């Protein structure tokens, strides 16, 4: 278990000096340090996987949150009307090691003993589901910046929020995109589709979204195989043999990054080829392209964000992120985390106090009108989950990635069917 206190971009005076002493006390003694005075800082909890199977996207989400905090603190902090002054953010960070039990207990710790006024976290459906139960139990606003399964937001929680559009929309948008290629004459109707998804609510939602669009548009697709796999699998030979035997035209999967890399490596080794290939929200990640090289060319993805979005605030975010971290934004992970922290700050200021219920109420009404996410406005629906459009990207040779759908956001044309290998 890793805990750290972030003090980003501020001079060490008063509360800031005390924050450094707190961190030093923890490092030297291994015991919890005395809590900082509530008047001095705004305590936010963050629970993210920076080790384990979800370490890469978890780290990217952590960096997005860190950047937002740096910018807020560099601006003097958040104005708290009841205090009559701006307060800076102090973050208590926990690494859950990609373990759902740890994720739940650490979220609970942040909300209870650490007395965080809000918690950000829950990268992935599994980790987010585990954390979500704590929000109402401790009446503490919780924002998942990396879990979009509808199961989390269908239980009537009053303190749970999410910055990812529902996963089902990935499936719906994927079907709509493929349908548009049929309408353009690039693909033929009545495509045989093989679907292989992770055995989670995420995978279930993806299939539901695809089938919903397909059911409303008869004649476009016929699903010839619908299989599930367990997270962290190492051998996909059995399910890939079923895919081969199905004689499908299209191969669709819904997989987390490690499973995407493992499955697609075995897909290539099996000599499989389809007219179009997708792994859900995975595809353009640098880790996959480094591991598989040209083998990832022409894979398309339905994602929550792209650095190709033609908004001035996206360009600024991309530039600021690289200056802050020393590397480019990798895929979509950092953007919803960045905006999750920003909309939380906006809600805290609107609440005018550090009262958790007042902040919850403000989150329900909050609108981030300069959002870097598609549509440029981030707000939460009645169930606490946001909903904004997905974009479809497609990998191209030489590490190029284009937005290929919808048309008004496209930076290049879709290649369909993809060339034979």
Domain ranges of the chain: 2-165+332-379, 168-280+282-307+391-409
Residues of the chain scoring pLDDT < 70: 1-39, 421
- C-beta separation of 330 from 286 below 8 A: yes
Distance (Å, whole) CA 13 – CA 8: 13
Residue 395 β-bridge partners: 401
Distance (Å, whole) CA 56 – CA 19: 28
Three-state DSSP at 367 gives strand
Tokens, residue 14: 């008063």
Closest CA to 49 of 119, 131, 140, 123: 123
pLDDT at position 330: 78
Angle at 234 between CA 51 and CA 99, to 5 degrees: 30
The full length of the chain comes to 421
pLDDT at position 331: 84
Tokens, residue 58: 């978890």
Closest CA to 254 of 177, 200, 316: 200
Closest CA to 395 of 307, 298, 279, 328: 298
Tokens, residue 74: 């560099």
Three-state DSSP at 344 gives helix
pLDDT at position 120: 98
- C-beta separation of 389 from 374 below 8 A: yes
- C-beta separation of 70 from 370 below 8 A: no
Is there a shared CATH topology between the 2-165+332-379 domain and the 168-280+282-307+391-409 domain? yes
Residue 278 β-bridge partners: 252, 300
Distance (Å, whole) CA 396 – CA 391: 16
pLDDT at position 81: 97
Sheet of strand 276-278, all strands in order from the earlier edge strand to the far edge? 221-229, 191-198, 250-254, 276-278, 300-303, 391-396, 400-405
- C-beta separation of 46 from 68 below 8 A: no
- C-beta separation of 292 from 264 below 8 A: yes
Distance (Å, whole) CA 236 – CA 105: 33
Three-state DSSP at 81 gives coil
Tokens, residue 19: 């924050």
Distance (Å, whole) CA 372 – CA 333: 12
Distance (Å, whole) CA 389 – CA 187: 24
Exposure b/e, 13-49, CB count within 10 A at least 16 = b:
eebbebbeebbeeeeeeeeebeebeeeebbbbbbbbb
Distance (Å, whole) CA 242 – CA 262: 17
Q: May I ask the CATH class of domain 168-280+282-307+391-409?
A: alpha beta
Quick check: bond before 417 cis, omega within 30?
A: yes
How far is the first Cα of the chain from the last one, in angstroms, to the nearest whole number?
45
Phi, psi of 340, deg, nearest 5: -60, -40
Tokens, residue 160: 């749970």
- pLDDT tens for 390-417 read 999 999 999 999 999 998 889 999 999 9
Superfamily for 2-165+332-379?
Response regulator (3.40.50.2300)
Q: Where are the beta strands (DSSP E) in 166-232?
A: 191-198, 221-229
Distance (Å, whole) CA 353 – CA 339: 21
- C-beta separation of 29 from 7 below 8 A: no
Closest CA to 260 of 243, 275, 281, 276: 281
């Amino acid at each position: 278990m890793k805990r750290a206190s972030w003090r980003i971009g501020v001079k060490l005076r008063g509360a800031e000096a005390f924050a450094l002493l707190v961190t030093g006390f923890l490092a030297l003694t291994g015991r919890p340090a005395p809590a900082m005075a509530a008047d001095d800082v705004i305590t936010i909890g963050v629970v993210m996987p920076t080790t384990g199977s979800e370490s890469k996207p978890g780290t990217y989400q952590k960096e997005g949150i860190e950047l937002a905090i740096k910018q807020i603190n560099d601006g003097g902090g958040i104005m708290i009307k009841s205090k009559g002054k701006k307060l800076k953010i102090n973050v208590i960070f926990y690494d859950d090691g990609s373990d759902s039990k740890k994720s739940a207990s650490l979220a609970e710790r942040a909300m209870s003993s650490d007395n965080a006024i809000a918690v950000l976290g829950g990268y992935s459906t599994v980790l987010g589901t585990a954390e979500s139960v704590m929000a109402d139990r401790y009446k503490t606003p919780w924002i998942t910046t990396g879990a979009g399964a509808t199961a989390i937001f269908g239980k009537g929680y009053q303190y749970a929020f999410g910055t990812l559009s529902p996963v089902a929309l990935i499936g719906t948008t994927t079907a709509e995109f493929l349908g548009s290629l049929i309408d353009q004459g690039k693909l033929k109707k009545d495509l045989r589709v093989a679907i292989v998804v992770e055995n989670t609510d995420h995978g279930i939602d993806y299939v539901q979204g695809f089938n919903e669009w397909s059911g409303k548009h008869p004649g476009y697709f016929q699903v010839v195989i619908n299989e599930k796999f367990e997270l962290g699998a190492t051998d996909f030979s059995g399910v890939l043999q079923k895919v081969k035997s199905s004689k499908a035209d299209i191969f669709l999967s819904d997989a987390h990054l490690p499973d995407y890399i493992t499955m697609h490596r075995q897909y290539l080794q099996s000599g499989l080829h389809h007219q179009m290939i997708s792994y859900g929200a995975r595809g353009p990640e640098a880790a996959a392209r480094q591991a598989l090289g040209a083998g990832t060319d022409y894979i398309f993805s339905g994602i929550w964000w792209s650095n190709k979005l033609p908004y001035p605030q996206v360009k600024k975010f991309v530039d600021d992120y690289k200056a802050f971290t020393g590397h480019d934004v990798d895929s979509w992970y950092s953007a919803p985390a960045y905006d999750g922290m920003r909309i939380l700050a906006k809600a805290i200021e609107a609440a005018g106090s550090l009262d958790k219920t007042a902040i919850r109420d403000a989150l329900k009404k909050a609108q981030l009108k300069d959002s870097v996410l598609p549509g440029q406005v981030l707000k939460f629906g009645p169930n606490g989950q946001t909903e904004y459009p997905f974009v479809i990207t497609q990998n191209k040779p030489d590490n190029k990635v284009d937005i290929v759908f919808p048309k008004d956001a496209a930076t290049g044309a879709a290649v369909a069917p993809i060339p034979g290998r």
